[in-house]
Amino acid sequence: MNMVEIIAVLAALFLAPIIGGLVAGLDRRVTARLQGRYGPPILQPFYDVLKLFGKEKMIVNYWQIVCAYMYLAANILTVILLALQSDLLLIFFVLAVGGVFLVIGALAAESPYSQIGAQRELIQMLTYEPLLILVFVGIYLETGSFKISEIVANYHQPLLISLPLLFVVMGYAFIIKLKKSPFDIATSHHAHQEIVKGVLTEYSGPYLALIELSHWYETVFLLGLCALFWHTNYLWMAVLVVATYFGEVLVDNVCARLTWRWMLPHAWAGGLIMSFANYFWIFVKIK
């Protein structure tokens, strides 16, 4: 490991949760404004998590502890691998580890709410996982590599220009991963459309704090993926990331939660059609 890599790992470890927390704070503020409220202070998510860490440790089943830690570890690892500009597919698989343990943790508790949440989370994973693979395959077809380091080094124009439809497909996956309406089916930030707290029902205190922390890492990872689509210029990269996230918040506020029966076929059909169209475009361009 050289110096740059060590700095990247440290930044991923310590900077990512700060950014993720700030994004969460901004998110809440923007959402409040969209709903005609004033909203909490930007640092509110940090206060919340710190408070949760101080609470009593309460669990239903010991496996929840294992699962909370595994979920956190997997999400940290995705951010670190992203910072090290590693293989996109490997990062994707590590992301799946987090998802799987979140589900196992929810299934461990014998509560109807967390069980339903777990089943729904599984269907959400089923929806976004193929879409993300298709996006990464598209990136490979365009750039000739799955390694971020090589994409950044050898490909000298924004990916967004050649992969616009795949960017939209990734948007679908983002909505699910960021737990935004209309696809916040497993657990939602909007109390009015939630049955208890879905997949997170049985987590409380410090373990809920761990999950919240993991979600911040996750957010940073997703924003990093988004940034990859305009890696040539930092200003435009920032614009793209901010615009995408604002778009997600907007969608979150104008949509109501849908059922998984609607989500699965529509996301797959839309995702497949757009992926194929984009692949076709890449092939035509190469020819």
Partner 1 sequence: MVDVVIGSCILVPIISGMLCFITGNQRIRAGIIVTTGILLTISSLMLFHTIQGPYLYTPDTLFGMNINSLISFADFALLFIILGIAFKRGNPLVILLTLLQIVPLAYFELKMAPHAEVTPAFYIDSLAIIMNLIISIIGSLICIFAIRYMEEYEHHLHLKKSRQPKFFFFLVMFLGAMNGLVFSNNLLWLYFFWEVTTFCSFMLIGHDKTEIAIRNATKALWMNMLGGVAFVAAIIFIYHNTQSTEYLSLQALIKHGPELMAALMLPLALLCFAGFTKAAQMPFQSWLCGAMVAPTPVSALLHSSTMVKAGVYLIVRMAPGYQGTFLSTMVATFGAFTFLTASALAVNMSNGKKILAYSTIANLGLIIACAGINTPAAIIAAVLLIIFHAISKGLLFLCVGTIEHAIGSRDIEDMRGLYNTMPAVSRITIIGILTMMLPPFGALMSKWMAIEAAATIPWVVVMVALGSGLTVLFWARWAGIFVSGPHLKVFESEGNEGFFAPFVTMFKGFYAKSKWKDPASIKVPLVTLAVAAIVLSLGVPWLYTSLVDPVLASYKPGLFIEPFKTNPMGLTSGAGAFYVLPVFLVSIIAYLAAVVAAKTKDHKVISAPYMCGEQYPDITQPKFRSHLNNWKDYVPANIYLQDIIGESKISYWINIVALIILIVLFGEVIR
| Chain contacts with partner 1 (rule: CB under 8 A) | 56-63, 65-66, 68-70, 72-74, 76-77, 86-90, 93-94, 96-97, 99-100, 103-104, 106-115, 118-119, 122-123, 125-127, 129-130, 133-134, 137, 140-141, 144-147, 150, 196, 201-202, 261, 268, 272, 275-276, 279
Q: Give 42 or 60: the residue with its C-beta nearer to partner 1.
A: 60
Report whether 248 contacts 255 (CB < 8 A): no
- Report in angstroms how near the CB of residue 12 gets to partner 1 at its nearest: 12
Q: Give 37 or 51: the residue with its C-beta nearer to partner 1.
A: 51
- Report in angstroms how near the CB of residue 8 gets to partner 1 at its nearest: 14
Ramachandran bin of 204, using left for φ above 0, alpha for ψ from -120 to 50, beta for the remaining angles: beta
Whose tokens are 């919340």? That residue is: 48
Cα first-last separation, the chain = 40
- Report in angstroms how near the CB of residue 182 gets to partner 1 at its nearest: 19
User: Following DSSP, what letter does each residue of 208-269 receive, concatenated?
Assistant: HHHHHHHHHHHHHHHHHHHHHTTTT-HHHHHHHHHHHHHHHHHHHHH-----HHHHHHHHHH
Helix axis angle, 112-143 relative to 88-108, nearest 10°?
180
Q: Give 15 or 195: the residue with its C-beta nearer to partner 1.
A: 195
Q: Give 113 or 245: the residue with its C-beta nearer to partner 1.
A: 113
Two tokens, residue 115: 């069980």
Q: Give 77 or 240: the residue with its C-beta nearer to partner 1.
A: 77
- Report in angstroms how near the CB of residue 150 gets to partner 1 at its nearest: 8
| Sign of the four-CA dihedral 17, 20, 25, 26 | positive
Helix axis angle, 44-53 relative to 205-228, nearest 10°?
140
- Report in angstroms how near the CB of residue 241 gets to partner 1 at its nearest: 25
Q: Give 104 or 160: the residue with its C-beta nearer to partner 1.
A: 104
Report whether 185 contacts 120 (CB < 8 A): yes
- Report in angstroms how near the CB of residue 284 gets to partner 1 at its nearest: 13
